[in-house]
Structure 1
Amino acid sequence: MKVAEQGNPARRRWLDAQGLRLDAKPYLSGAFVMRRLLERLPVEKTPLKEVTAGHAGGIFNGPKFRRVYVTDPEYGVPFVGSKDMQLADFTNLPLLRKADAESTQLSYLKLKPGMTLISCSGFNAGRRAYVRPDMGGFWSSQDVLKVEPNPDRIAFGYLHAFLASRFGEVLVKESIYGSSVKHIEPHHIENIPVPRFGAAEEKEIHELVQEAAELRAAYQRGLTEATRDLFTTAGLEDLLDLKWHEQGRDLGFAQSGVSATTLRALNFQPRARRILERLASVEHVTLGEVCEGGRLRTGARFKRIDADPAHGVRLIGQRQAFWVRPEGRWISPERAPEDVMQRNETVLVAAHGTLGENEVYGRSILVTGSWLRHAFSQDFLRVLSGDADIPGAYLFAFFRADAAFRIIRSMSVGGKQQEYHTELVRKIPIPLVATSDRKRIAESVREAYRRRDEADCKEDAALAKLEEAVVLHTGATTG
């Protein structure tokens, strides 16, 4: 149980400041300590609502509305919810019907680069994200607060850095209310005091945040181009736009040559079989052959032993593996199996889950760069190439494609919780292009991940500069 510090008990005037809220969280969250620290800053502090502009003053969410999703990008717009805003790769976002999105009722929910998004409903309430340049045509749900900076009053990146910092986090999360379903409303955060350190310092922080956003947009473009390059070079352009849902449901089909390997109808799904036949029609090698001498299996189950971050590793699960900056519990690596840590360019495929369109089951990530220091749960299929001529970066360009996602899902076994069929997965055809083409495609993926790591470093530098400014002006510590 968390209790108040003896030297800093909750005070009567704090209750007045919180509208006489009697739940303990606002008084034990550290928010009042943080406010006192900010009050000590000998610089101007501006309420958040005075540095925003736009719809409803620049701090708004939206109305509840009936969501109609489409599958054709011509008739839809990418739609971001409170979980999707955390994603690193926006390729597979659901599409909200464009006619609804552009209507008078919802048009203002269109995102603008430079906004800060704050999840305002549900378990993840209070998380923040920056709207990157490539998110300009996205729409957001009512579960996401939009904070639109006024460019005449504050630099976009600086405001985001403050809200994303430990100071902003505490002040935003103190506003959360509710029991099972958490909420934040615009008026709860409009008076957050934003410290002003002068144009030069704020500009430096802004530029770091903006550079990070541009690098993440470049990461997204690099991965998309690498996948397109692979399928185009292999002569499989038709698999880049499957129009999966327009092919009709797989009903009333017959299958001959059934063996004891599997009797499940999903494993003979005609739409997926057509993809497999198309992949096998070009020069290829099976996934089992590629991973000979490498690794092709899910991880070992194990008991998690929590550890201090100084002596542990962050354990990443299926959902958070797809986030820009993952969160996860810290565990002792000495008390975990060897395969929680991954070798460079291991492709991890989410291997347990359900068949919902927006579920991560069947989606893939690449472990390289800074992510090699993380541990990963047993719920991933580890795909490690044993052939130096077919590197993991090249495999990832294939696995992130919708065609690979569909055939992996067709190889499911299980009841409510699905997992892959080991023998069927080993037979997946991996298209082979010329060695020089494979090197080019793999290097495109590697460059994309280098940009992602550089973006993380710039974002960390921006937050560090902001905290240094607070320490410099107050003489306090932020630890």
Structure 2
Amino acid sequence: MSRKFQVKSVPSSWLGHSGRRLDCGPYMSGAIEAAELINQFKAEPLQSLTVDMFHAGREGRQYVLDAQHGIPFMGSTDILAFDLTYQPLLSKSQISRNPQFSIQKGWTLITRSGTTGRMAFARDSMDGMACSEHVMRIVPDVNRVPEGYIFAFLSSRFGIPLVTSGTYGSVIQSIEPHHICNLPVPRLGHVEEIADQMIQRAGSLLSNSQEKLNEATTLYFDSVGLKDITLTEWHSWGSDLGFSTSVDSRSLRALNFNPRFEKLCSKIRSGPHKLLGELCHEGTLRRGNIFKRIDATPEHSYQLIGQKQIFWLRPEGRWIARSSVRDEVLVPDGSILVAAQGTLGEGELFCRAEFITGSTLERAYSEHFLRVIADETQIERGALFSFIRSETSFRMLRSISTGSKLQDFHYAILPTLPIPYPDQVTRTRCNNLIMEAYESRDEALKFEDEARTLVERTIEEGTA
């Protein structure tokens, strides 16, 4: 696709209002245009509507493995995630020394380093979690402005350019609180309350979705007399060094026979179970095929999602021409996609899973995902995801990896993994919980979109 050059005509008055800046960035980004539109309203600087704007400051992080001594920690991209269950743990002692690591519900979170200007509204399920210094916290003064309105405006197409126009740095872009303290916030009267209600509703739906996901996984394990392993338990079982075992012709890699893996499999085999290969359609349990990516405009394209973005509420991906790929880049409803390539670092996404249904079916997915498509005559797809998303499944999948630096699955061992097999009533209940969680997710995104659209339309029309 040929390169497109951007051209924009601006009134001479904009140059006067912006200190006669002649660099194109502020004009092309929409920051100046946004400021001009906002001037139609009574506007107040962001600082006057907040209790505080800050980040945690730069210091080394102290991670722990025991949940008794740690708090779930979100990095700068984790604030964009849907499922926050399996986050690394930051030491409670570090948070005690620096309470600014903690976040509270109702705050607006903004990425402030690298890719700046990505935002999230801190919902109930985020309350009390720790968060990276690369995320700025905006703490609204609820006596002066609704929390949800601040998020709806800042994340709108008028707010984002104003936030990012304050970035500095050549290679790594950054913003600091003092760069946006004077950002003008239009006062929109009753519109602020309506936008706040929508954003608060979205936050409640997402937190409810999180509860349903965790409930489904807990129910799945309880029904067969098991408990999902925790990060603390896995590491308390000792290292994988110095053990003896009998091997077969499929593998000579010690990791594929480690005692902790065998212990997990033995626990599952002690109760009702089936093999993963028996529960999935024949020909699945594989990665996608490699294909050429040809960029195109969105109306003629699929949005291609990779391993990093798939776990975000709003995945970002390049647009590839539909004519250049086959339908295999799409997946059927209820597919489970597992990040199939990566390294074994504790914070890496390799072996984490996502469920594809609802709005996410419209996207294309790269070849770097393991396709797990349940045979619904054997098990409901949401029920299988209840297990695949668990810590137990994560550790089992990692134990059957192969490769040197970049890991992949051992596809001869993969179909032989034992999977707990609950009764029909439990499987149906787990499936319903998962489907309800993802329906609530889509509904939450619609509420967020409606709130932003309301704010944007009010600013464009110049009426409040």
For 1:154, the equivalent position in structure 2 comes to 145
Cα shift readout 1:68-100 (whole Å, capped 9, x = no counterpart): 111122111111221111111111111111111
Q: Secondary structure at the match of 2:298?
A: coil
For 1:234, the equivalent position in structure 2 comes to 224
Matches within 5 A, 1:133-172: 133-172=124-163
CA–CA distance in 1 between the matches of 2:438 and 2:70?
29
For 1:436, the equivalent position in structure 2 comes to 425
Query: Does residue 119 of the first structure (1) align with residue 111 of the second (2)?
Result: yes
For 1:45, the equivalent position in structure 2 comes to 43
In structure 2, the CA distance between the partners of 1:44 and 1:117, relative to structure 1 (3 Å rule), is same
Q: CA deviation at 1:325?
A: 1.0
| Unaligned residue ranges in structure 1 (runs of 5+) | none
CA–CA distance in 1 between the matches of 2:322 and 2:244?
49
Q: Secondary structure at the match of 2:341?
A: coil
Letter in structure 1 aligned against 2:260: R
Q: CA deviation at 1:50?
A: 0.8
Q: CA deviation at 1:16?
A: 3.6
Matches within 5 A, 1:346-357: 346-357=335-346
CA–CA distance in 1 between the matches of 2:346 and 2:53?
31
Letter in structure 2 aligned against 1:93: Q
Cα shift readout 1:5-59 (whole Å, capped 9, x = no counterpart): 25558976476487xxx875334322112222222x2x21111101001xxxx11
Contact 2:124 2:204 in 1 (8 A): yes
Contact 2:34 2:159 in 1 (8 A): no
Q: Secondary structure at the match of 1:395?
A: helix
Contact 2:103 2:127 in 1 (8 A): yes
Query: Does residue 333 of the first structure (1) align with residue 322 of the second (2)?
Result: yes
Matches within 5 A, 1:315-394: 315-394=304-383
Contact 2:27 2:33 in 1 (8 A): no
Cα shift readout 1:325-383 (whole Å, capped 9, x = no counterpart): 11111112231132211101000000011111111110000001111111111110000
Letter in structure 1 aligned against 2:219: D
Alignment TM-score, normalising by the size of structure 2:
0.95
Contact 1:297 1:381 in 2 (8 A): yes
For 1:284, the equivalent position in structure 2 comes to 273
Contact 2:108 2:137 in 1 (8 A): yes
For 1:223, the equivalent position in structure 2 comes to 213
CA–CA distance in 1 between the matches of 2:159 and 2:119?
10
Q: Secondary structure at the match of 2:375?
A: coil
Q: CA deviation at 1:463?
A: 1.1
CA–CA distance in 2 between the matches of 1:444 and 1:389?
18
For 1:455, the equivalent position in structure 2 comes to 444
CA–CA distance in 1 between the matches of 2:11 and 2:360?
39
Q: Secondary structure at the match of 1:148?
A: strand
Query: Does residue 98 of the first structure (1) align with residue 92 of the second (2)?
Result: yes
Pick the aligned partner of 2:410 from 400, 421, 433: 421
Matched length: 461
Contact 1:294 1:385 in 2 (8 A): no
CA–CA distance in 1 between the matches of 2:406 and 2:13?
46
Q: CA RMSD in A?
A: 2.0
CA–CA distance in 1 between the matches of 2:287 and 2:385?
17
For 1:110, the equivalent position in structure 2 comes to 102
Q: CA deviation at 1:140?
A: 1.6
Contact 2:279 2:378 in 1 (8 A): no
Query: Does residue 185 of the first structure (1) align with residue 176 of the second (2)?
Result: yes
Letter in structure 2 aligned against 1:99: S
Letter in structure 2 aligned against 1:111: I
Contact 1:222 1:445 in 2 (8 A): yes
Query: Does residue 5 of the first structure (1) align with residue 3 of the second (2)?
Result: no
CA–CA distance in 2 between the matches of 1:195 and 1:68?
41
CA–CA distance in 1 between the matches of 2:237 and 2:420?
23
Letter in structure 1 aligned against 2:209: Y
In structure 2, the CA distance between the partners of 1:431 and 1:250, relative to structure 1 (3 Å rule), is same
CA–CA distance in 2 between the matches of 1:385 and 1:429?
14
Contact 1:10 1:27 in 2 (8 A): no
Matched-pair identity in %: 40
Letter in structure 2 aligned against 1:146: R
Q: CA deviation at 1:239?
A: 3.4
Q: Secondary structure at the match of 1:36?
A: helix
Matches within 5 A, 1:201-216: 201-216=191-206
Pick the aligned partner of 1:85 from 73, 79, 88: 79
CA–CA distance in 1 between the matches of 2:44 and 2:58?
31
Letter in structure 1 aligned against 2:186: P
Letter in structure 1 aligned against 2:104: K
In structure 2, the CA distance between the partners of 1:31 and 1:89, relative to structure 1 (3 Å rule), is same
For 1:254, the equivalent position in structure 2 comes to 244
Letter in structure 1 aligned against 2:25: K
Contact 1:14 1:27 in 2 (8 A): no
Contact 1:4 1:10 in 2 (8 A): no
Contact 2:228 2:392 in 1 (8 A): no
Q: Secondary structure at the match of 2:419?
A: strand
Q: CA deviation at 1:2?
A: 5.3
Letter in structure 2 aligned against 1:190: C
Contact 1:313 1:375 in 2 (8 A): yes
